[in-house]
């Protein structure tokens, strides 16, 4: 048995440029995973090129080809399950998932969101944070449940909002934190440290606080 076969198989879903995907690809060996496939609902998603360049199988399942969300999610699930992943990650997948889909992958479905959840769920978080005059912003990794951006939070990273920030400068700083925190949490899951127990995220057998692991301690928690 070679080293790659002992790594946890992961499937990533993307819709765009795949910057988080690239960060995960770069750290895959270190965090104990093998990206079995990258699947997108958008044929022109740049992240597909990054995956292909890394020798990772890619697929496109276009949502426009299906009559409704449920039929699309069934087709998507069939392609995901072809690769038998132990973990499914949403790395910029811009689709609201059906209840049946979420329940099928419950406990092995992680998402990264660009806000300090539970604040600013949904889209355009950077712009909304600036317009609200917030002094702090950040990102969160959470288990996915039926509630949009509402599943148990695993960990968050914070950034300060500067007086001269616009949505682009703020987004870039948040993205730098995303590239660190998402691979870290995936590594926790791959090593068996992280799991969903009932409605709580558990790390090393202990329920995490409602806002996830303390962001200041994440660097020492790998």
Stated pTM of the model: 0.94
pLDDT at 3 over 90: no
CA distance 218 to 129: 24
Residues marked active site are found at 113
Q: What is the percent of the chain where pLDDT is above 70? A: 94
pLDDT tens sequence across 138-156: 999 999 999 999 999 999 9
Tell me the three-class secondary structure of the chain, residue by residue: CCCHHHCEEEEEEECCCCHHHHHHHHHHHHHCEEEEEEEECCCCCHHHHHHHHCCCCEEECCHHHCCCHHHHHHHHHHHHHHCCCCEEEECCCCCCCCHHHHHHCCCCEEEEECCCCCCCCCCCHHHHHHHCCCCEEEEEEEECCCCCCCCCEEEEEEEECCCCCCHHHHHHHHHHHHHHHHHHHHHHHHCCCEEEECCEEEECCEECCCCCECHHHHHHCC
pLDDT band at residue 47 using 50, 70 and 90 as cut-offs: very high
According to the model, what pLDDT value does residue 2 have? 47
If pLDDT is split at 50, 70 and 90, which confidence band does 66 have? very high
Q: In this predicted model, what pLDDT tens digit does every residue of 165-203 receive, in sequence order?
A: 999 999 999 999 999 999 999 999 999 999 999 999 999
163 has pLDDT over 60: yes
pLDDT above 90 coverage of the chain, percent: 92
Q: Provide the pLDDT for residue 49.
A: 97
pLDDT confidence band for 221 (50 / 70 / 90): very low
User: What is the residue-averaged pLDDT of the chain?
Assistant: 94
Predicted local confidence at residue 215, as pLDDT: 57
Query: What is residue 213's predicted lDDT score, i.e. its pLDDT?
Result: 86
Residue 218: its pLDDT value, please? 58
pLDDT, mean of residues 91-120: 97
**What per-residue confidence (pLDDT) applies to 217?**
57
Determine which of 3-7, 88-92, 181-185 has the lowest per-residue pLDDT on average: 3-7
Least confident piece of the model among 3-7, 85-89, 147-151, 174-178: 3-7
* pLDDT above 50 for 220: no
User: Which structural domains are found in the chain, ordered by start?
Assistant: 1-105 (3.40.50.170), 113-138+155-222 (3.40.50.170)
Q: What is the pLDDT of residue 222?
A: 41
């Amino acid at each position: 048995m070679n080293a790659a076969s002992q790594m946890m198989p992961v499937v990533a879903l993307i819709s765009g440029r795949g910057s988080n995907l690239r960060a995960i690809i770069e750290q895959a060996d270190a965090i104990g995973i093998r990206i079995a496939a990258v699947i997108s609902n958008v044929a022109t998603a740049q992240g597909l090129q990054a995956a292909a360049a890394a020798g990772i199988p890619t697929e496109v399942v276009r949502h426009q080809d299906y009559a409704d969300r449920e039929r699309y999610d069934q087709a998507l699930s069939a392609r995901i399950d072809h690769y038998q992943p132990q973990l499914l990650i949403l790395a910029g997948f811009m689709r609201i998932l059906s209840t049946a889909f979420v329940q099928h992958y419950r406990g092995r479905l992680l998402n990264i969101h660009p806000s300090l959840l539970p604040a600013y769920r949904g889209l355009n978080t950077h712009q909304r944070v600036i317009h609200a005059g917030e002094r702090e912003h950040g990102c969160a990794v959470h288990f996915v449940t039926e509630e949009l951006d509402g599943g148990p939070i695993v960990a968050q990273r914070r950034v300060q909002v500067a007086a001269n920030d616009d949505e682009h400068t703020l987004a870039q700083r948040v993205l730098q934190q995303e590239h660190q925190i998402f691979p870290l949490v995936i590594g926790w899951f791959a090593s068996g440290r992280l799991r969903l127990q009932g409605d709580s995220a558990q790390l090393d057998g202990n329920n995490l606080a409602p806002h996830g692991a303390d962001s200041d301690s994440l660097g020492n928690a790998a």
